[in-house]
Amino acid sequence: MELLAEYGHVFIALACVFGLFMAWGIGANDVANAMGTSVGSKAITIKQAVLIAIVFEFAGAFLAGGEVTATIRKGIIDPSILADTPELLVFGMLASLLAAGTWLMIASIRGWPVSTTHSIVGAIVGFAAVGIGSEAVAWGKVGTIAASWVVSPMLAGSIAFVLYKSVQHWIHDTANPFEQSKKVVPIYIFLVGFVISMVTLVKGLKHIGLNLDFQQSVWLSIISGIIITIIGIFFVNRVNADPETNDEVHLANVEKVFIVLMIFTACAMAFAHGSNDVANAIGPVAAIYSVVSHGGEIAAKAAVPVWILLIGGVGIIVGLVTYGHKVIATVGTGITVLTPSRGFAATLAAATTVVVASGTGLPISTTHTLVGAILGVGLAVGRESLNYRQVGAIFMSWLVTLPAGAALSILFFFIFKAIWG
């Protein structure tokens, strides 16, 4: 307790710096999951992707990031074990932030699309199990989170499969695909607007004082979806078809319409990613701030201050601008060949999965979710369209991430303990 009273301001300052570093890593590596399909399908350029992500990643992190943050902060470690030694929690969370940020920096330099959720959860479990004792880890909660890493890509893949099959059935296989796409695409645009609005209003805005009941949220989301659809229809109607009439040109004309839709889904995925993955950076920061500001008391629940959400949002944006373009340029082309219509199905499926997880407080991996969605689209197109070698390499990078985060966290934990212990 005396240690926290004497060095509390130092610990909070370090938490802010390390949290910013971790958020930078999310922006540098993981934002490719939000933008990769859009760039890979050539719906938008890398510069356009960066501009979209700057706005919507920050909005998601700031407006809807509070719900998941609570799960990362209080769900993995049993607070009662550390009641008499709160400084160990502070050391561990500092170590986890620095470890996960370091691993993300290494992965980004190497061009590996790894999971930020894997990184931080592995780091927290590593320091807690080795530095404190295995009884400090809430293994049941860890098991639930680990199960979500399997469930989320399967769910996203299933949604993407159904979505792309609907595109094939309602648009590609019709007599006049271009005209049909102009009729059907507004429905997809409404779906994007409604899903994002609904989850944001139901779960995401409580920490800024806006509490709506379910019925109010439904009506506001419908209105939001309609407004977004009207905007979308305006742009869709501006798309002109090539006068040629062979099959290839027909499909090219349809993809022009889906480029408009991809811009909306890119915005949705960026918002969803920001709302879910900001917790990986600011969860440990919130834990450190809570312990220090309460004089060493490890509270079961604590509000996340707005300035901590700002740290996460700013860090993600800086990482995206300085390094994100390198991973964005490669993620969208490695698994399967994406067109705007395929990219739409993958992105909307991933966004739906992520925002639902954010609303329920479950910290899933955006990397797993999007890869699962792209695999779902690839299966809908045909198994031969998938690059199995690339998929295998991605799976291997996922396996390495957990032990890497844990090992670095254990190292940093004992360094901090030696300095202040």
Whole-number pLDDT of residue 73: 55
* 244 Cβ contact list (under 8 Å, min separation 6): none
* 219 Cβ contact list (under 8 Å, min separation 6): none
**Total number of domains constituting the chain:** 1
Q: How many CA atoms lie within 13 A of 280 on its CB side?
A: 34
Residue type, 401: T
pTM of the model: 0.83
Residue type, 226: I
Whether the CB-CB separation of 100 and 39 falls below 8 Å is answered with no
Whole-number pLDDT of residue 74: 54
Q: Which residue ranges in the chain fall short of pLDDT 50?
A: none
Q: Which structural domain range is residue 105 located in?
A: 2-420
Whole-number pLDDT of residue 329: 67
DSSP 91: H
Whole-number pLDDT of residue 230: 95
CA distances 163 to 156, 180, 377, Å, are 10, 16, 8
